[in-house]
Amino acid sequence: MQKQPDKKTVQGEIEKALRKLNITSHLRHAGRTDRGVHALNQVVAFDAPSFWDIHKLRVSLNNILSPYIYVKKIVKTDDTFNPRLDARKRSYRYLLSGRFSPHSADYVTYYDKNIDYPRLQQALNLLIGPHDFKYFAKTGSEVNHYLREIYRAEIYTYKYLSVIKIEGNGFLRGQIRIIVDFMLKINENILSIEDLKAQLNGTLISKHLAPPNGLYLERVWY
C-alpha cells in the first residue's frame, strides 16, 4: 500500500491518478498492507476541490487506475477524518487451498495438508480478548504498545477454500501472518496449543510470517 521510491504501490498509483486530474493531495490510508497482500475494502482519504462531482471523480479515477485498483465509492467527510486513527475495528481473512492453480497462486496460499478444524478453532479461541501481541508483530514495529483486542477469530470452509477470519480493534505489522503461520504449525503438530498460550503470555516460541498472497484486509469500521 504505502508509497516507496521507484516502486509501484497502491498509494503511489492513486496519487499519480489524482495528479492527472489536477488534484495534488497526499493520500492517507487505513492500513499499510505489505507487498503481495490484498485489500477488499481499503479506506483512503484525500482533499479535492469542491467543484468535483463525486460520481464523476470516481469514474475518472477508475478509468485511470484500471484494472488493478478499483474505487468502489467516494463520500465527503469532515476535515478531521483520519482513516487509520478513526477506525473502530478491522477484519482480515486468510485464504488457503489444497488445490493448486497458477491462476490463483497470487491470491490464495496453497496448503496441501489436512486441516484439523476443531483443533485450530480451539487455538483461535485463545486469541479472543485483549492480549499483549508483542511476539506476534514484525520486528521493528514502531508502536507505543502491543495491546490489541480480538473480537472474533474463526476458521471455516467456503467452497474449496479454508478461511481464517480475525476481527479486532487494531492489528500490528505482520500480526495476522504470524498468527496464521502459528496456526498451521499447530495443525502440523510442530507447535502445540500450549505453545500458543506461552507466547501470548510473553514467551517467544515462533515468529514467522505466513505467505502474503492469502491475506486480505476485509473491512474497516468507523
Contact 213, 106 (CB under 8 A): yes
Q: E strands along 78-180, which residues? A: 89-97, 109-110, 129-132, 147-158, 161-168
- Tell me, what's the pLDDT at 174? 96
| CATH code reported for the domain at 92-221 | 3.30.70.660
Cα(155)–Cα(194) distance, integer angstroms: 19
Cα(46)–Cα(189) distance, integer angstroms: 47
- Tell me, what's the pLDDT at 154? 98
Q: Which CATH code, of 3.40.630.30, 3.30.70.580, 2.40.10.10, 3.30.2290.10, is assigned to 1-86?
A: 3.30.70.580
> Residues 6, 34, 78, 195: which is the catalytic one?
34
Q: Please name which of 50, 8, 44 lies closest in space to residue 26, comparing C-alpha atoms.
A: 44
**Residue type for position 40:** L
Residue 110 neighbours by CB under 8 Å, 6+ apart: 96, 97, 98, 99, 100
3-state secondary structure of 124: helix
- Tell me, what's the pLDDT at 15? 97
Is 34 an active-site residue? yes
Q: DSSP string spanning 45-66?
A: E----TTS-HHHHHHHHHHHHT
3-state secondary structure of 28: strand
Model's pTM, two decimal places?
A: 0.93
Is 92-221 in the same CATH topology as 1-86? yes
Domain ranges of the chain: 1-86, 92-221
Q: Using alpha carbons only, what angle is made at residue 126 by residues 157 and 198, rounded to the nearest 5 degrees? A: 125
pLDDT tens string, the chain, 222 residues long: the values are: 999 888 999 999 999 999 999 999 999 999 889 999 999 999 999 999 999 999 999 999 999 999 999 999 999 999 999 999 999 999 999 999 999 999 999 999 999 999 999 999 999 999 999 999 999 999 876 788 999 999 999 999 999 999 999 999 999 999 999 999 999 999 999 999 999 999 999 999 999 999 999 999 999 999
